[in-house]
Amino acid sequence: MGDKTQGQAAIKPVAPTSMASQRLAYIDWMRGLACLLMFQTHCYDSWLSPEARSGALYHWSQLLGTAPAPIFLFLCGVSFALVTERLWEKGTERDVIARQTIWRGFEIYLAGVLFRVQEYVLGYPKAPWTDLLRVDVLNILGIAMMLMGLVCWLATSQRLAVSRRTSIFSAIVLATVAAMVTPVLYTTHRLQFLPWPIESYIDGVHTFNAPQPWLFPIFPWIAFAFAGLAAGFFLFTEFAQRDERIAFVLIGAAGVLSCALAIVFDKAPVSLYAVYDYWHTSPQFLLLRTGIMLLIMFASYAWCQWGLAQSGFSPTIQLGKTSLLVYWVHIEFVYGRLSILPKRQCSIGKATLGLGGIFVAMLILSILRTNWKQRKRESARAVSAIAQQVKQPA
């Protein structure tokens, strides 16, 4: 990745804003909200009996369960922008930034592969070997990070403001393209000549004859990450840094506008596609969900700034700090052999008690993980301080 004429060191460092200098509570809170929605969806889906699934609670539970994956991908884009901005501000070379961010994405992708291997081993011999090749949310998170790393590398200029604007424009264009091509890739122009494990990364077909809505292929899911990338870079524009409150109000307004446009486009008398599936592949539904992500982002910021989110210990923020860990662990205790309740045999009351147990257990695990990381950092600082003292002349 070596365009030596455009070294990132040429970018002048700027003073980091309050957003860049500390962990962003609203991002952790929003990610923690996704964890809570994920817990309730998975628990009720795994444990409720067929009779209990006929009521309104199960319906709304599954509807809310459509939010976590877009939230995780959207925040992946936001966080990616923040990390890239911090590296730009330090004057880090563009090739170094690309290597670091793309490698991190590859690590997440490998974590997704490892997760599938774990689930297959724990589910053996009932689990089919094809589950090893299933496209899951960790896979697409890793791929999204690698693609965003490439986009930011290509967008990097000698001027920080130009790099930011180019990245915002590129992210919006790529999100739009991903949304627009999804319907045809799922229907009239499916890439059926590809082996199913590869095609599944395009349309989520897996081993079936048609794309499956419960999988996470590149299209359309990558669009949420690029939308988050654009939002993240917007927060570092000179305008947003002058008054971040106004910037977040505009993000909320953009969310309202996105939802309104999605409704208008859906009711338009002309359709661009031979096959129109609003709930699974339409650009209109993706635009609506992107608008909802922007509204949740604004609401999370407002709650953390002016609400009670940071008035004391926040379980939601705590879970958001370790979302990958609690996602990984809770699956086995809900869907796997270690399920704490019998699957598809529970009443609403019993499943709700189990949900409470999962929440408490994952919160404790999250706290232990955070405390361990804090002690590790403190030990490293202590060792560094001792080393510096030893090096000083007597």
What tens digit of pLDDT does each residue of 289-309 get? 999 999 999 999 999 998 888
* pLDDT at residue 393, rounded to an integer: 61
Evaluate whether residue 370 is within a structural domain. no
Number of domains in the chain: 1
* pLDDT at residue 351, rounded to an integer: 97
Note if the bond before 183 is cis, omega within 30 degrees. Answer: no
d(CA 40, CA 382): 42
- Mean pLDDT, range 378-387, rounded to an integer: 79
**Which helix (H) or strand (E) is 167 found in, with range?**
helix 160-186
More confident residue, 393 or 157: 157
pLDDT in tens, 106-151: 999 999 999 999 999 988 888 899 999 999 999 999 999 999 999 9
- Assess whether pLDDT exceeds 50 at residue 59: yes
Evaluate whether residue 115 is within a structural domain. yes
Residue type, 143: I
Enclosing domain of residue 31: 4-363
Q: Can you say whether the dihedral through the CA atoms of 302, 306, 309, 313 is positive or negative?
A: positive
Residue 346 three-state SS: strand
Evaluate whether residue 377 is within a structural domain. no
For the chain, percent of residues with pLDDT exceeding 70: 93
Lowest mean pLDDT among 14-23, 34-43, 205-214, 315-324: 14-23
The CA–CA distances, whole Å, from 46 to 42, 50, 348, 354 equal 6, 11, 12, 11
Evaluate whether residue 149 is within a structural domain. yes
**Which helix (H) or strand (E) is 298 found in, with range?**
helix 283-306
Q: What are phi and psi of 48, to 5 degrees?
A: -65, 140
Q: Yes or no: say if 201 and 135 are a contact pair by the CB < 8 Å rule.
A: yes
Q: Is the pTM of this model over 0.75?
A: yes
Q: Band the pLDDT of 392: cuts 50, 70, 90.
A: low
Q: Band the pLDDT of 10: cuts 50, 70, 90.
A: very low
**239 CB neighbour count, 10 Å cutoff:** 13
- Assess whether pLDDT exceeds 80 at residue 13: no
Helix axes 68-89, 137-155, angle to 10 degrees: 30
Residue with tokens 């917007």: 234
